[in-house]
Amino acid sequence: MMILLNNDGGERHSEWRESLNAVLPDHMIYDYPDIPDRSLIEYAVVWNHPKGDLRRYPNLKAVLSMGAGTEHFDLDPTPPLAPIYRMIDPVMAEDMALYALYWIIHTQRHFDVYRAQQAERIWDRLPQVEAKNVQVVILGLGAIGSYIAERIARNGYTVSGWSRHTKSLNSVTSLTGEATLIKALGQADIVINCLPLNRYTRGFWGRDKFSALKNGATFVNMARGPLVDNQALMQSLDNGPLGLAVLDVFDTEPLEDRSALWGHPKIKITPHMSGMTNPQSAGRLIGSYIQMIENGETPPYPYKRAP
């Protein structure tokens, strides 16, 4: 059995190969584009693979994505005919939940203020807000967003989650509908964006959404950069109501040197590290999916193309 491996140009292929070999020792793994015979490829383990190429493998049984995002499949005009399975790694989901939790605590406990006070040698304790009185709204309740929502709720925060369809989650209030969202944004202390990127959500965060926020709210984008209109974001930071923006993802990555986002005093930037895929844990997971398919079983998280 042969496996095609392509992580957007070869990044960390040696680690992926090592991880996959550990669970699939009898399988041959070929790095794209060095494929001796496309007819022998039965599985493709890919991320951001060239559009249309996966139609060229006549015996392809399944495509295993190296990540949770699906925009590269959504934008492919000639997607593979074989079924596609998303990779929802519990290790990555936990990393993303902790990233979100960090910024919630950062906001709740006024750590920016205390850092500024330290520079001025000021000793001044600010009023402490209880976790249950901190309103957190999460947009996007897919596998990752749902995990983050429940993880935050377990830490005592009041959590609501907005999605297209009603979800049943532990200690999380499920919200749907545009009017409901606008109302929730006006009550939220912290808003965490976990929406997928597709033709419906591109530019989702525009002037209307930012203007609906509660005064002084914190906005955390850990999904995809093109979901946010950066001009609207900057205007909301400069003129209100947005108090702080935490950005982990951008339209262009790495973020360009000339971007005004770098120097804005109300923006915190991290280099797309909120939930980095770990080749060791993710490779073991993908290997288990391949074994499931070989045993006639169906792996979890099948990809469904956005309508």
Q: Measure the CA–CA gap between 172 and 14, rounded to whole angstroms.
A: 40
Contact 152, 101 (CB under 8 A): yes
Q: Which of 17, 72, 151, 224 is catalytic?
A: 224
In three-state secondary structure terms, 85 is strand
Burial of 63 (0-12, 13-18, 19+ CB in 10 A): buried
Quickly tell me which residue has 């009023």 as its tokens: 127
Q: How far is CA 204 from CA 195, 213, 304, in A?
A: 9, 14, 21
Reduced to 3 states, what is the DSSP secondary structure of residue 135?
A: strand
Token code pair at residue 110: 């006024």
Catalytic residue (choose from 27, 55, 272, 284): 272
How far CA 53 is from CA of 47, 250, 293, in Å, comes to: 13, 26, 22
Backbone Cα Rg of the chain: 21
In the block, residue with structure tokens 């002084």: 216
- Asked about 224 being catalytic, the answer comes back as yes
Q: Which DSSP helix (H) or strand (E) runs through 293?
A: helix 279-294
Query: SS3 for 32?
Result: coil
Q: Can 165 be counted among the known catalytic residues?
A: no
Catalytic residues, by residue number, are: 224, 272
